[in-house]
Structure 1
Amino acid sequence: MSEQSTFPDLRGPWEDAEQRIQDAHKAVQELKSYLKQQNEQVISEKERLEIQKRAQIEKERIQRSQTDKNKLKQNFEALQSQIGTQNGGYAFEEWFYQLLNFCEIQSKRSYISNGRQIDGSLTHEGTTYLLELKFTKSLSGAQEIDSLKAKVSKMADNTMGIMMSISGYTKVAIEEASGSKTTLIIMDTSHLYLFFSGVMSFQEIISRIRRHASQTGQAYLPVSEYYN
């Protein structure tokens, strides 16, 4: 009936035939309006259910992500008793690549280049970073910084280096890593715990230190200064 536009049955000898036809047209229009409204409500309900479904999926994804991040943190802390040992170093390297996989950061595991051992690399925002992972009890010094600098200098222009030193750095090491044209950014345990806290993603942490290095020439950015 909602598609009907003519009403031959209403045409006849009745005095009010025209009025009847007008009333019929009006009824059809009202029916069309009602059906349209009902259809919109159905679509709206479908959209609402779809939004709820997507929200639930995202909630579950976040919960899984948080569970996986907590597991990463637990595994990292379980390694602390092995700091300074060869096996601990290997285990930390394996753990670090689990971290990169969790963060969906493109990476390459350790390899030999030009006779030099490279702990691996990661690529972030179009830049490839050679990795140097230090799982030692002592602070990393200028010698370790110079070694990474030398490795980076053998690579393409768009290559930089990231050093992750669990025990931190000497003052001289930080000065050696820094400079107006520094190719390094250096990190320590505090940056890992910033990631664990959920305040920033690991990608955001890398970007923040890189920006700081570009603006100041300083390769190290303490977590306490992230929002200054």
Structure 2
Amino acid sequence: MAKILSPHVIELTKDACLKAFWRKPALRLFLKQHGIADAMLATWAEDESKRVFLARLFEKLIGLKSNNGYRIIFDMACSLAEMKHFPDLENWEDTPKKISEANKAVSRLKLEVGKAKEVLTDEKEALERRRRSEEERQKAIAASTSLENLGSGLKNLVMQIGTIEAGLTFEKWFYEMVNFHEIPCRLPYKDTRGRQIDGSLTLDGTTFLVETKFTKDPVGSQDIDIFLSKIRTKADNTMGILISMAGFNSGALETASHDRTPLILLDHAHFYTFILPGTMSLTDVIRRVSRHASQSGEAFLAAKDF
């Protein structure tokens, strides 16, 4: 604020105070309304002129710490710059002259206040840009750390691939990934027919049933058929996501892909190529494969073909 209020602007503010208020009580009220303490106003002696008191007051304000005094002066300047009527100057013999001088003083001040506000706005915008940039940087650091942890967890889990315990742990790992990307989800449950569902997630108004496979061998057509039967008993806007870290054989790809397929397939390459490095979010990968399925009827879009 001290940089914005040059000595010239401060002098124009004092001059506008003198010209806009002729009586001491009117000026005293204006100063009080702008944060000047009663203790300071009490030092204004009866025989002390407005000019002398304002010079003493402004010198004290400039000396305050943390720019508080400059802020008070700037608030006064802004109020004076907006004045269009001068009640304290009415009903004097030379009222037209007093009002004319007040208008000139206020006009000069208003021009400088406008410049000061532009500088202040630029500084605020620059500060906001720096704040947003730092916030994004911190988010990126946090995201990188979290993705690194998820990547390490998957790397350790791969050494146990094919075991029942690893399959259950991979299911939990996948939902940690889902929660990291803030996608609404439901953890594993049994449907009304008693069939196990590995959970679901909701994206863009579509509910996706989830099936996770952490086997050594690629998923075949039989697993696709079983999962499709679960999807087809649900509401029309229900689709399915089958995640197989070992990929899919040709029979599985053929069974999953047909007109209006309700199923999309993800494999290890989607995670290692895009999601874990942070190149694309899980949300964006699902959208990309879903769009491909809608356009082509193919449930699978290899990471190399993105």
Mark yes or no: TM-score above 0.5: yes
Counterpart for residue 131 of structure 2: 53
Cα distance in 2 between the residues matched to 1:145 and 1:159? 16
Counterpart for residue 305 of structure 2: 225
1:78 is aligned to 2:156:
yes
Preserved CA contact (<8 Å) 1:177 1:184: yes
SS where residue 261 of structure 2 aligns?
coil
Moved more, 31-40 or 96-105: 31-40
1:157-211 residue CA offsets vs partner (Å, 9 max, x unmatched) = 1111110001001101100000012111011000111212322211111111111
Q: State the aligned residue count.
A: 221
Q: Give the unaligned 5+ runs of structure 2.
A: 1-14, 21-85
- Aligned positions of 1:106-145 closer than 5 A: 106-113=184-191, 114-145=193-224
SS where residue 185 of structure 1 aligns?
strand
Cα distance in 1 between the residues matched to 2:148 and 2:227? 31
Preserved CA contact (<8 Å) 2:201 2:207: yes
Structure 2 counterpart of 1:121, which letter? S
Counterpart for residue 2 of structure 1: 16
1:102 is aligned to 2:180:
yes
SS where residue 48 of structure 1 aligns?
helix
Counterpart for residue 209 of structure 1: 289
Counterpart for residue 14 of structure 1: none
Preserved CA contact (<8 Å) 1:106 1:123: yes
**Percent identity, aligned pairs only?**
40
Preserved CA contact (<8 Å) 1:2 1:32: no
Moved more, 192-201 or 31-40: 31-40
Preserved CA contact (<8 Å) 1:72 1:99: yes
Structure 1 counterpart of 2:197, which letter? I
Preserved CA contact (<8 Å) 1:140 1:173: yes
Counterpart for residue 166 of structure 1: 245
Structure in which a larger fraction of residues adopt strand: 1
1:95-140 residue CA offsets vs partner (Å, 9 max, x unmatched) = 0010000000111111111121111111111111111100000110
Shift of 1:48: 2.2
Preserved CA contact (<8 Å) 1:2 1:29: no
Preserved CA contact (<8 Å) 2:200 2:210: yes
TM-score normalised according to structure 2 size: 0.66
SS where residue 33 of structure 1 aligns?
helix
Larger Rg: 2
Cα distance in 2 between the residues matched to 1:115 and 1:47? 58
Moved more, 48-57 or 134-143: 48-57
Cα distance in 1 between the residues matched to 2:151 and 2:262? 29
Counterpart for residue 3 of structure 2: none
Q: Give the unaligned 5+ runs of structure 1.
A: 12-17
1:69 is aligned to 2:69:
no
Counterpart for residue 182 of structure 1: 261
